[in-house]
Chain A
Amino acid sequence: MALDGRRVSGVTISTVSISKARRQAPAATPGPDAPVFLTPAVFHVLLALADGPSHGYGIMQEVDEFTAGSTRLGPGTLYRSIQRMVVDGLIEELDIAAHDEHDDDRRRYYRLTPKGLATARGEAQRLAALVDAAQQRKLLTTPASGLPRRSRKAKAGASRA
């Protein structure tokens, strides 16, 4: 059932060749060229990797820790986010890989790229400015209450901002 391009052209309306100049234009992929839109899961993964490289399960544990268990990344969301972030150039897979002692899956390690680090910083600053605005409007009357327990990393991030 192998397909070949010549056989299938059921929807041809008209065939027009494009100009040579256009044909020589650099190839574009929608992924890397598109502006980075951060889903909540993507920002969590950026935060989890800000401390250093980790694998999928490690990222899940890290997120669980710094959100005090209030956010749990499911495996489907995690691996789709990782795929998207690799395509967008926010993270990259390390050359090293290890076998999990409990199963045969190769454990892939990921780290932030410079673009990923810059994106994480930019988003953190944007969110910090929003929290400031919320505090000025007395939405956070007791700043610490209601927030998850802060992990070591969250403190480091706060002191940098």
Chain B
Amino acid sequence: MLSPVPEDFHTITPQLVVSGVAAAIAWYSKALGAHELLRNAAPDGRIMHSELLLGDSRFFVVDEFPGSMQSPSTLGGTPVTLHLYVADVDALFARAVEEGATVLMPVADQFWGDRYGMLADPFGHRWSIASRIEDLSPKALHERAKSWSQNQEHS
């Protein structure tokens, strides 16, 4: 039976624009452990669609199409961070850095209950990677955030 929501997708699926899809797919596979399902080329050879599996989630990677699809390297930055929960944040983070990711925030235990770090991949997309270490209620999270903010003010 055809489901309007495909079973193998979650509600949100990111579509990343990069300059050079083939290199990006190779990097996401080697550094993050993604697996490619398919890629479709436009007549000029640019990749207009590709689909990768990462853990239990899927994301799309496409080439730049000036005017509509621009990569972080063309735009000079990205306002979006893709967040990954994995079993071993230290191992995955270390591998991504070995493969050429730029560390934006080293992995450390954070007040909100995650062991967490942030990096930029070689294509300019930003990822945060975490493993949960504490199961906190929204109330406890609010108190932790409040006391963290107060400490920032005083330092």
Does B bind A?
A: yes
Chain A interface (Cβ < 8 Å from any Cβ of B): 1-5, 7-18, 22-31, 33-34, 37, 39-41, 71-72, 74, 76-77, 79-81, 83-84, 87
* CB <8 Å contact, B8 and A81: yes
Given contacts A71-B1, A84-B56, whether A76 and B6 have CB atoms under 8 Å apart is yes
Given contacts A81-B8, A84-B53, A84-B56, whether A8 and B32 have CB atoms under 8 Å apart is no
> B23 in the interface, Cβ–Cβ < 8 Å?
yes
CA A4 to CA B18, docked complex, whole Å? 11
Most chain-B Cβ atoms within 10 A of its Cβ — which of A7, A16, A27, A34? A27
Q: Is the interface of B mostly helix, strand, loop or mixed?
A: mixed
* CB <8 Å contact, B7 and A39: yes
Residue in chain A with minimal CB distance to B99? A5
Q: Show 22 residue pairs from A and B whose CB-CB distance is below 8 angstroms, ordered by the A residue.
A: A1-B46, A2-B20, A2-B23, A7-B73, A10-B72, A12-B104, A13-B105, A14-B103, A15-B103, A16-B103, A16-B105, A18-B94, A22-B107, A23-B94, A25-B90, A28-B33, A28-B88, A30-B55, A31-B53, A77-B7, A80-B7, A83-B53
Chain B residues, CB < 8 A from A17:
103
CA A80 to CA B91, docked complex, whole Å? 27
* CB <8 Å contact, B122 and A87: no
Chain B residues, CB < 8 A from A30:
32-33, 54-56, 84, 86-87, 92
Q: Identify which of B56, B91, B102 contacts A27 (C-beta below 8 A).
A: B91
Chain B 32-66 against A: per-residue CB contact (8 Å), 1 yes, 0 no?
A: 11010100000000100000011110100001100
Q: Identify which of B6, B53, B93, B104 contacts A13 (C-beta below 8 A).
A: B104
Q: Identify which of A23, A28, A87 contacts B97 (C-beta below 8 A).
A: A23
> B144 in the interface, Cβ–Cβ < 8 Å?
no
Residue in chain B with minimal CB distance to A1? B20
Q: Which 6 A-B pairs have the closest CB atoms?
A: A29-B33, A3-B20, A30-B55, A5-B122, A28-B91, A80-B8
Give the Cβ gap from A59 to chain B, nearest Cβ, in Å: 15
Given contacts A3-B18, A11-B120, whether A18 and B106 have CB atoms under 8 Å apart is yes
* CB <8 Å contact, B124 and A31: no
Chain B, interface size category, equals 35 or more
* CB <8 Å contact, B103 and A8: no
* CB <8 Å contact, A72 and B1: yes
Q: Identify which of B63, B78, B107 contacts A18 (C-beta below 8 A).
A: B107
* CB <8 Å contact, A3 and B23: yes
Chain A residues, CB < 8 A from B71:
8
Residue in chain B with minimal CB distance to A79? B37
* CB <8 Å contact, B75 and A10: yes
> B138 in the interface, Cβ–Cβ < 8 Å?
no
* CB <8 Å contact, A37 and B95: no
* CB <8 Å contact, B87 and A12: no
* CB <8 Å contact, B6 and A34: no
Chain B residues, CB < 8 A from A22:
90, 93-94, 107
Given contacts A8-B72, A28-B88, whether A37 and B94 have CB atoms under 8 Å apart is no
